[in-house]
Amino acid sequence: MNQQNGLQYRSLLKAELAEVETRLLEVTSAVPSHIAGMLQEIIDSGGKRLRPALVLLSAHLCQAPLMQAIPIAAAIEMLHTATLVHDDLIDGATLRRGKPTLNAHLSATPTVLAGDLLFARAAVMATEAQNLQLVRRFSATLEIICSGELNQFFIGRGHLPTHDEYERRIFSKTASLFALAMETGPHLAGCPAQQIADLARFGALLGSAFQITDDVLDFVSNEATLGKPVGSDLQQGLVTLPVLVYLQQHPEDTRLASLLRDPADAGQLQGFVTDLHTSGAIAATMAIADRRIEEALTLLEPFPITPYRRAIEEIATFAVRRPY
């Protein structure tokens, strides 16, 4: 069950995820032909579709109407795609999931506008579930994501964050959208506020564990799997949880400060990464992610054991056990 292909949600939600794909691709008929093909490629290269899967599973968990969950699933994935389009432009990334990014084909102007258009399309789709409270949460989550990115921009690279700052960053970057995905079901089913809060918390815990795992994989995976060099976050001056955990254990190590001043020093980076590996900081960081998943899973206990609950549990387990 360590492999993406082995995850049950894909077969369990096959028809519904296919409907989500159809809804996502509709945007290509509403844009200038110049970029329709590029957007189709970006949407087709789609990744694991974890966010829409969580929307659909949370709807099943709460017996919410699927006809309403499907547009929200598509809207959340579209919003995610829009943020990636702007992120890749900002980072100057030319490949994502092995495919050229939009900014690899286009100049900044149409890339900005195409991202805006995807945000707008996502917002239109979000209204299709006819649930005002959910639309509001949708827009508020977009605001959290943008605000976090803007904050991150002004903090800049080469900054040593506090643990709280790290948590705020991964919440706005990743966990907030997972939270929104998981609270869709109880919103649509008209569940009590406590149940909405519980599943949102499940999503936030899952999302932050997912991001922590990403940050660990940046140190432990290999370049072929990641598509970027090991330690690339640190190389770009981005300090993540494994480094914070290491520094807590080794406050005397002054190399980080010098690395953040001079990230191009490959030899020093390599030495630091090696010591981080042998220090046990990786395992300690993953233990933090694991505990979040454990806590998250307890929030599912009130729900009946169905294949849908099992699939959510499986995704939660996968989030901290994946090879990439």
Residues of this chain that bind a second copy (CB under 8 A) = 30-32, 34-35, 86, 89-90, 108-110, 112-117, 119-121, 123-124, 126-127, 130-132, 135-136, 138-140, 142-143, 145-147, 149-151, 153-154
Residue 31: CB minimum distance to a second copy, A: 7
d(CA 83, CA 102): 12
CB closer to a second copy out of 126 and 220: 126
Token output for 295: 């806590």
Coil, helix or strand at residue 99: strand
Coil, helix or strand at residue 300: coil
For every residue of 2-69, DSSP letters joined together read -SGGG-THHHHTHHHHHHHHHHHHGGGGSS-HHHHHHHHHHHHT-TT-HHHHHHHHHHHHTT--HHHH
Residue 120: CB minimum distance to a second copy, A: 4
CB closer to a second copy out of 146 and 217: 146
To the nearest 10°, the Cα dihedral for 244, 240, 287, 52?
Answer: 160
Q: Please state whether beta strands 95-96 and 99-100 pair in parallel, antiparallel, or not at all (unpaired).
A: antiparallel
Token output for 117: 């258009």
- From residue 91, alpha-carbon distances to 57, 98, 104, 161, 231 in Å are 33, 16, 11, 20, 17
Residues 39/84, Cβ–Cβ less than 8 Å: no
Residue 166: CB minimum distance to a second copy, A: 17
Residue 26: CB minimum distance to a second copy, A: 12
